[in-house]
Structure 1
């Protein structure tokens, strides 16, 4: 297939699909209709290049997650809308991928703007450089560089965007983002992730939006931990500051769970990840549980989503989100509850039910987030729930929440 009009039709059809579900600012829609994603994915059938899915460009020999991939186009569009690039902006992108996102950024900042994209993997850098040259974006700067260090030689930047998952905002980025500049990154905390849009206000990053997302994690950040239970068939994914370990939880799944049910119900296509997000704004026991098919076969109670459901852990006890379809309400056929294990399993399950109820009362609500440099004194932090990371302190609050 080499008919340019056919490529245009495929691309426009994809953009039409994206904007039907999420309207976009006109400049971003134009950029998506202009940049050819297929030329950043050579060898892939054009029909596949213009489907709304991620494409792996480099496998990871050491794990299930790819080392690099072309992100889902609708997620790309969503993050560009969060970033809101303007003509003349100076942008740093961390995670070069295929070069496609950098090409979109180049369209958005225009001839007066500058785009620098960095990646730690030389093969990914080469792929991005060749694709950008092939598509007419030779002026985009592509660097083989550790993204955790940014690119200080070309700072300051008016906008920065990460297309890899971050557990923390690296200390090196603070001085590279201009005051008043904007940062968009897929940030992980308490086992879940959101694409967070932030503006630098002096020594504080202030959020004005969060969107559900999932990205390959950046190389070099090790703040997340995995605790294996039941011979590795159940895994808890948690932050380094959370006292979760296999010793106290070794027997937690050995007895039947206590099940409690909330009044909240969800539709077949309705997301309930907001329960998780809501809980992280007040509860340090929150993490992620992953239950394999082997564990399910051996009798472990199925979480709401086996691979990624919110859980609460305290001492030798555990509770996690469960769902059950009963069709009592055709529009919302599934009810939500909690399964508790261990001596305090019932209490943890009741706490999780309270988180479900709080979410259900305002399902679109998202917490307000501020991020502060590590070492910021407690007395100077705003009101809210603080989570400490290596290079920063994150504060979440629903008192100042924006939806």
Structure 2
């Protein structure tokens, strides 16, 4: 007879699974073995709390994405590792979620530290408060508030972490993060999201790590745009500074297809988002393409990943990443290429293929990022890199 694991055993099994895939700092591992995630997910089968998966805690009646999620535990662990919180630290979390992440932070900083978590949604904030109280973390401060404003009453903070996607760095956060403090956030640019770890050096945030992730976007930022193509069967997601005109792209998929193939190959489980990241360092035409099953049935060339594939757009033409299976190379059966549509489709496909080749030559390269508060003009001083302007900040990327 097989014994059913206890919830504590399931919790340890989950942490063992996470630790087998990445090095966990001792403090993060201890916190994840201590805090009972099931206590923050009432109404869910408790055993499911120890699957490495996200759980929706509040649906969004006006859109496809939920208003709030309990994040995937392995992503939680990754971001806490990036944050590198220490005993005694003062921490601000933006996006209270279930309260689980705040409990982990409370364990890490200990009784001499302080954790404040804010959420714009009253139901979510109330859930987090009740769950934290029930789990014995009354010392965590929960505030119902627009996270873009932070929590100045408890500032300055040694560490700040966001568990919602941010397109920009709010001015208010600069005033609340201490000199030398660390900020970890799911940062969005050119259609992608990366968990970026940044350290404050005066009026500059300097990155020292980027990890692939996906989060519900924060309410109140609108720097991202969407263009409907092919009668709404395909969509482009791009930034407000990019010159995308959906009127020029209405009939792009009715033009001839042009394919260009690189010599780069990937395995079935090998990520290729690094190409997307690398391309944003030099190319302002990079964005994200989503293609529905109806578009595929209508003859559109299948992208590498239909719901989120890197693309480049110029005028009435576009190109995006595609894959071709070649079983002659079983360890890396997928050949990477580019599909181009529109009058400049062949040229754009070749340009994208050049990005693929550059990534293929050094797949682990991560660009350096610095972020500066926006002053209404260009970033002050000489910049070694490519500037992406946002509403409240300027981002500089360099190889």
Q: TM-score interval w.r.t. the shorter chain?
A: over 0.9
Q: Aligned residue for 2:356?
A: 356
The count of aligned residue pairs is 396
Structure 1 residue matching 2:103: 3-state secondary structure: helix
Cα separation, 1, equivalents of 2:7 and 2:180: 39
TM-score by length of 1: 0.97
1:378 Cα offset (Å):
4.1
SS in 2 for 1:186: strand
Q: How far is the alpha carbon of 1:153 from its aligned partner? A: 1.3
Q: Indicate the SS of the match to 1:228.
A: strand
Q: Report Cα offsets for 1:218-261 as digits up to 9, x if no partner.
A: 00000000000111001000001111122111121112310000
What is the Cα deviation at residue 352 of structure 1? 0.4
Unpaired stretches in structure 1, ≥5 consecutive residues: 399-403
Aligned ranges for residues 67-78 of structure 1 at < 5 Å? Answer: 67-78=67-78
Q: Would you say 1:30 and 2:4 are equivalent positions?
A: no
Name the counterpart of 1:108. 108
Aligned to 2:214: 214
Q: Partner of 2:368 in structure 1?
A: 368
- Deviation of residue 33 (structure 1)? 0.1
Worse-superposed segment, 372-381 or 151-160: 372-381
The CA distance in 1 between the partners of 2:161 and 2:108, in whole Å, is 14
SS in 2 for 1:253: helix
Distance 2:90 2:171 in 1: 20
**Runs of at least 4 residues of structure 1 off by over 6 A?**
none
SS of the residue 2:366 aligns to: coil
Aligned equivalents of 1:171, 1:317: Cα separation in 2: 36
Alignment-derived partner of residue 157 in structure 2? 157
CA–CA distance in structure 1, aligned partners of residues 385 and 345 of structure 2: 27
Q: 1:372 to 1:208 in 2, by over 3 A?
A: same
Q: CA deviation at 1:379?
A: 5.2
Aligned to 2:183: 183
SS across alignment from 1:318: strand
Provide the C-alpha distance between the structure 2 equivalents of 1:210 and 1:113, rounded to a whole number of angstroms. 26
Q: Is the 8 A contact 2:233 2:292 kept in 1?
A: yes
Shift, 1:377, TM fit: 3.6
Identify the residue that residue 341 of structure 1 maps to in structure 2: 341
Q: CA deviation at 1:286?
A: 0.1
Q: Deviations over 1:174-200 (max 9, x none)?
A: 010001000000000000010000000
CA distance in 1, matches of 2:108, 2:302: 45
After superposing the two structures, state which structure 1 stretch, 245-254 or 287-296, moved more: 245-254
Query: Within 2, Cα distance between the matches of 1:153 and 1:25?
Result: 30
2:256/2:342 contact within 8 Å kept: no
The TM-score with structure 2 as length reference comes to 0.98
Task: Tell me how far 1:345 sits from its aligned partner.
Answer: 0.7
RMSD of aligned residue pairs (Cα, Å):
1.2
Q: Secondary structure at the match of 1:175?
A: helix
